[in-house]
Amino acid sequence: MKHTKGKWELDRSGVATAIKSGDVCVASIYNQDKRIKGMEVWANDAYDTSETDANANLIASAPEMLRIIKDVVIIEKKLGHDGSSVFWRCENFLSKIKKTNKKGEIK
């Protein structure tokens, strides 16, 4: 499985939020910002960015989540729990990631 390594960070500008690793744009999401009632359009704090920020942070945390899932599988195997539901759910998730096509769809 190959993905862009390193810490993924957010770059918010314009109508989209980019998830980047260094100079590489890993993903970009359209901002779902909602204008706060009564605020002027041009005001810096006129928009509620919480949903966009939450979605972007979830995507940006993917490398860390993947590392944690891999660690869980290793620990479960070492403890002899490779028959546990936690082990099998993590293994199943990792196998789905390996089957993801270039469009990001899980086969």
Cβ atoms within 10 Å of 56's Cβ, excluding its own: 24
Return per-residue pLDDT of the chain as tens, 107 residues: 577 877 888 888 767 888 999 889 998 888 777 777 777 766 666 677 788 888 888 888 888 888 888 888 888 888 887 777 888 888 888 887 776 555 544 44
pLDDT at 106: 44
Task: Tell me if 10 sits within 8 A of 28, measured CB to CB.
Answer: no
pLDDT at 102: 54
By C-alpha distance, which of 69, 29, 77 is closest to 49? 29
pLDDT at 90: 83
